[in-house]
Amino acid sequence: MSKKIGYGRVSSDGQDLTAQIEALKEAGCEKWFVEKVTGTSTKNRIQLMELLEYVREGDTVIVTKIDRLARSIIDLNKIVSEMNDKGVSVVFLRDNITFGAGKDNTSLNKLMFNILGSFAQFERDIIVERTSEGRERAKASGKHMGRTGQPEKKVQQALEMMANRETNGMSVADIVKLTGVPKPTIYLKIKGLNT
């Protein structure tokens, strides 16, 4: 007996799968496979691998949108083709498109499949490109992106205070409080100067 099986994915632990699961339930899925893992490739996507093992001829796999299943045209083609070869149809809810198995997979469907997959990859590439450009602009203007390090001015101030401790009578704890530079950073910098 054929089944409707859902697949949901988010990229990180901070994201929530609830909306996807609700959409899969509404679409009539009896079972679903969900995971929190990056979708740049199928590697490490355990739930996707289990889904591919689980599905049988006549089943329909339902996914909320294309980029939940794959983020590159190569992966998308590989995954959907593997399912279609098994006699399994793939439905993307938000994209309102079905890639049927066998005779249901028309030339127009194949064309749409490649176009949509290309757009999904194009969109992701643009996001990556914009992020990289933003990072470069931030670097050029002296801003730091990502995990913040200590401002070089403060580190230099802490090192000067450390060098003059005999005259200023300050403890390492005092210097840490005044400059905000952590003790390990101060010692690491001193060690770097002495090597």
Give the residue numbers annotated as catalytic, written as ranges: 11
Residue type for 90, please? V
Q: Read out DSSP for 156-183? A: HHHHHHHHTHHHH---HHHHHHHH---H
B/e letters for 52-67, b = 16+ CB within 10 Å, e = fewer, are beebeeebbbbbbebb
DSSP secondary structure letter of residue 9: E
- The helix (H) or strand (E) run that includes residue 29 is none
Count the alpha carbons within 13 Å of 192 in the hemisphere toward its beta carbon: 9
